Amino acid sequence: MVISCVIYGIGIGGITGMQVVVIVQTLGMDKLAAAFGLNLFIGGLIVFPGIIIIGYIQVLTASFSICFHIVGGVCIMCCCLWAPLPMMLRRRNANLPK
């Protein structure tokens, strides 16, 4: 359970810490407020079905540990999807005319 909590914490911390940086690098500082607000809004919409799904899994398995593993895995998957973004941005910026 401790390992699951550590994985979950690292995943959430990584996502939360990088949101503003990624938004600024991708869209620019002028669109930060709108993009961050939209990001929080969509995240809020996802919470409701997420709670239901996690509750359903907990009822089926009678274990909160599996729920922590699933949520931690999803967070790690999100971090892995964002990992190549800096390389992609450098490549895109290198191809732009100067």
Per the CB < 8 A criterion, the answer to whether 75 and 11 are in contact is yes
Interval 78-87 mean pLDDT: 84
pLDDT digits 0-9 by tens, 7-66? 988 988 887 778 888 888 888 899 989 998 998 899 889 888 888 988 999 999 998 899
Q: For residue 46, which of 88, 82, 75, 79 has the smallest C-alpha distance?
A: 75
pLDDT digits 0-9 by tens, 62-80? 988 998 898 889 888 988 8
List the domain boundaries for the chain: 17-85
Question: Which residue has better confidence, 7 or 85?
Answer: 7
pLDDT at 92: 83
